[in-house]
Amino acid sequence: MQRRRFITALGGMILGSAWRPAAALTAEPSTPSSAGALDGAQSDRFRAWMALIVADQIRRGPSPRWFHRDCAGLARFAVGEALRPHDTRWRRANGFTGRLPPEVDLRPEQAALLKGWTTLAGDQQAFVTALALVQKNSRRLGRESAMSKPGDLLFFDHGDDQHLMIWMGSWIAYHTGQPPAAAEQGAGRRRPSPEMVEDNGLRAVTPAQLLQWKDTRWRPRDDNPNFAGFYRLAFLSR
């Protein structure tokens, strides 16, 4: 995938004019159960598949099989697709050819990972919010990127609005959560441009770009109270 094809603008996030500190994540995330966790080799294979699937969404646009297209939706979709078997039918349907990562090969006791997520209320559902993804399904790594690996999450908390980004190693992927019309307004343009007509909400940005972002609420820094930190999916052992 050519980096020049990445969309590197964070335009499209509709932010309120009033600054507010992080508020929704009021406590440390609960410790998720380790039952059925992936072992080290499985975790590495999962990361390779998740990174491949996220990068493919950026390169070619959202898959028709990806519903609920927002920041948390990108993570949920990539996780589900990374865990499932990637047989010939799946590869043909998704346009994947050539050499691909080894299969994760879930054991029978790990099959529940494909059935859903833990909600804030504690039950299991296919849909969870960004807050539930980190509060109930992940463990916090801290605010430094040094410990992060591809597939880990960055969580931003604006009180009544939360946002996830996906750490890809040398870059960061996310979905704005906004339709093209809202993205156009957020970017400050007076008239739709040809590019915005085709805007799918997906973005990619380098860590250096994000650290220097004009709106400081989106900088992944220790001095930003809206940046809650890096998180790792609870079923990964490393």
Quick: pLDDT tens for 91-127. Answer: 999 999 889 999 999 999 999 999 889 999 999 999 9
Residue 184 — φ and ψ, nearest 5°? Answer: -60, -45
What Cα–Cα distance (Å) separates residue 101 from each residue in 86, 104, 122?
Answer: 10, 9, 33
CB atoms within 10 A of CB 205: 20
Residue 109 — φ and ψ, nearest 5°? Answer: -75, -10
Q: What are 153-209's pLDDT values in tens digits?
A: 999 998 888 999 999 999 999 999 875 544 444 433 344 444 444 688 999 999 999
Cα distance between residue 49 and residue 86, in whole Å:
10
Of 175, 179, 178, 177, residue with least CA distance to 166 = 175
Residue 9 predicted with pLDDT over 50: no
Q: What is the pLDDT of residue 27?
A: 59
What Cα–Cα distance (Å) separates residue 223 from each residue in 143, 226, 232?
Answer: 10, 9, 21
Cα distance between residue 215 and residue 221, in whole Å:
12
Q: What is the pLDDT of residue 106?
A: 96
Cα distance between residue 171 and residue 156, in whole Å:
17
pLDDT interval class at 64 (50, 70, 90): confident
Cα distance between residue 162 and residue 25, in whole Å:
9
Q: Please report which helix (H) or strand (E) contains residue 154, including its range.
A: strand 153-157
Residue 33, CA atoms < 13 Å, CB-side half-sphere: 8
- Average pLDDT over the chain reads 83
Q: Which two tokens stand for residue 196?
A: 């915005």
CB atoms within 10 A of CB 83: 20
Cα distance between residue 170 and residue 165, in whole Å:
13
